[in-house]
Amino acid sequence: MGRLDHKVAIITGAAGGMGKADALLFAKEGAKVAISDIQEDKVQEVVREIEQNGGEAIGFTHDVASEEDWVRVVEDTIAKFGKIDILVNNAGVSNATPFLELTIDQWEKTMSINVTSVFLGQKHVIPHMINNGGGSIINISSIAGLTGGSGTGPYTASKGAVRMLTKATAVDYAKHNIRANSVHPGFIETPMTVDMMADEKMRNWFLSMTPLPRLGKAEDIAAGVLFLASDESSYITGIELPIDGGYAAK
């Protein structure tokens, strides 16, 4: 038996990186997966990969900051698979603009993609989870949501907001058997970080900040997300799970 047999999951930002790793692992463990991302071609590539491996998936081109898009994705997932058990709010953007150089448009874009999207996903999925007798929400934050960082003001603020929104959700909806937890990746090698990781000086700094002697992989995050999505974590809600090689322990 797979760890997610008979479950249906929506995963945002699943066309690559951590979201794709989540989707492939979820499908391998028996889940039916709704894959959403703004990158249409890559979404369909992930759907095909899952189907070629014997899994079930549906793909959506999805602007996570759009409430209209969320309504469509949720309704079409219900129409296809009949229910939603798991929501992984993984989509996000980085922003390292120096604080005093930051424009209001840059601030609002970061907040809309990193925070408003989580609110919208929860708003439109939770009613279906209530009807289904429960569910698991995993919101991807960052170590920046646990500690301050130089030159990452809007990103840090957005990821801290995700952490606290997750806790509020956990408290409000526990009575409906809905669990909400946040995951806080450390320095992970993904398409979004490839340019930074290619810089030897920057890469060595990341390594120097991480007690375990390597950088993280998308699959490291997926393993933690899978645990929180599965019934193995049925008595866990409202936590933040750092997957960071020990960074936050220092």
Q: What angle do CA 13, 190, 39 make, to 5 degrees?
A: 35
Q: Which of 155, 173, 235, 247 is catalytic?
A: 155
How far is residue 185's CA from residue 29's CA, in Å, rounded to a whole number?
22
10 closest CA partner among 80, 67, 84: 84
Report CA Rg, the chain.
17
Reduced to 3 states (helix: H, G, I; strand: E, B; else coil), residue 79 is helix
- CA-CA distances (angstroms) from residue 216 to 119, 159, 224? 27, 19, 12
Whether 155 sits among the annotated catalytic residues: the reply is: yes
Residues with catalytic function: 155
